[in-house]
Amino acid sequence: MNDVFNSKHFKLEQISNSSFAAIAKEGGGAVANAGFVDLGDKVIVFDTFNTQQASEDLRLIAEKITNRTVAWVVNSHFHGDHIRGNQTFKDTIIISSQITYSKIRDVHPSRFSKQKNDIQGLKDYIQFLKDQINLTHDPTIQYQINSLNELKESLPTLELVLPNQTFNNEITLQGTKRIAKLFTLGGGHSFCDAMLYIPDEKVIFMGDLLFVNCHPTFFEESDPVKWSNILKNVARLEIAVAVPGHGPTGTKEDISKIINYISELITIAEESKQNEEIAIPEIFKDWSSPEIYQQNIKRLRELTNP
């Protein structure tokens, strides 16, 4: 597959007969993962990346592999790295939950406008990071610079495209060869998180409800207890492959790991002092984005001691 297609934004991985995961590459314009499923007569894309450059590559490869145009696009939740590539698919049916639609509509116009009006500020920050590399020789900063350069390139032509179809709990998308179930169990990571399940192939696209081998991000709107309960419900499904919002593809075991992560961190936050720095537990030591861990502890302390 790599012989016929290569993107600097993501690595394409076939995970079943009909399903493909697009796993974000460090330093590219994707930032989060996405994917697509061939239902027989229709193709459905799950999430659209952080830039239109990345989403254009996604559409190109999806239509090349399936030999048909994309019919449906799902926005799993409202965060930018999952919806900013929507403009590539504005001729399709873009589906999200009603809550996600409302959040994209209400939050992103001002965010887009602010970023488009401050490209110079972004350039200055990129230059600051370049200076940091010269001082620290930290190779991870180069990935950040590359990713921000992709963002900078996207801004002049970036436009906000809203979902044009919404649902509340679950809808079934019917193809000639298989079905896909698009459903939400409410908010956990964000205000509302949707997943796409392909029952015949035991494949699930989970957005940011699942992170594999990297620290999940607890945002202000995240509800870790509800998040954990959602994952416990999802774990009852037959799952062979789970596609996370960040990190490599996983299995049901990786869902259990996030349930355990949330439980461990809640206990640590409740039992530790307010500003105490807690070392990352051994079982999570090798996970990427370790800087997120202390942020998550701080967030949980705010929740347990408001």
Between CA 92 and CA 84 the distance in angstroms is 15
The answer as to whether 189 is a domain residue is yes
Find the domain containing 125 and state its range. 110-157
Q: How many CB atoms lie within 10 A of CB 291?
A: 8
Q: Are residues 191 and 150 in the same domain?
A: no
The answer as to whether 194 is a domain residue is yes
Q: Are residues 93 and 153 in the same domain?
A: no
Give the helix ranges, DSSP H, for 137-216: 139-154
Q: Are residues 175 and 153 in the same domain?
A: no
**What CATH number is attached to the domain comprising 22?**
3.60.15.10
Domain count, the chain: 2
Sign of the torsion angle spanned by Cα atoms 178, 254, 30, 7: negative
Q: Are residues 135 and 90 in the same domain?
A: no
Q: Are residues 152 and 165 in the same domain?
A: no
**Residue whose tokens read 């302390």:** 301
| Tens-binned pLDDT, residue by residue, of the chain (306 aa) | 444 578 999 999 999 999 999 999 999 999 999 999 999 999 999 999 999 999 999 999 999 999 999 999 999 999 999 999 999 999 999 999 999 999 999 999 999 999 999 999 999 999 999 999 888 888 889 999 999 999 999 999 999 999 999 999 999 999 999 999 999 999 999 999 999 999 999 999 999 999 999 999 999 999 999 999 999 999 999 999 999 999 999 999 999 999 999 999 999 998 887 777 889 999 999 999 999 999 999 999 888 765
**Residue whose tokens read 């202390």:** 294
Q: Are residues 120 and 37 in the same domain?
A: no
Q: How many CA atoms lie less than 13 Å away from 160 in the CB half-sphere? A: 19
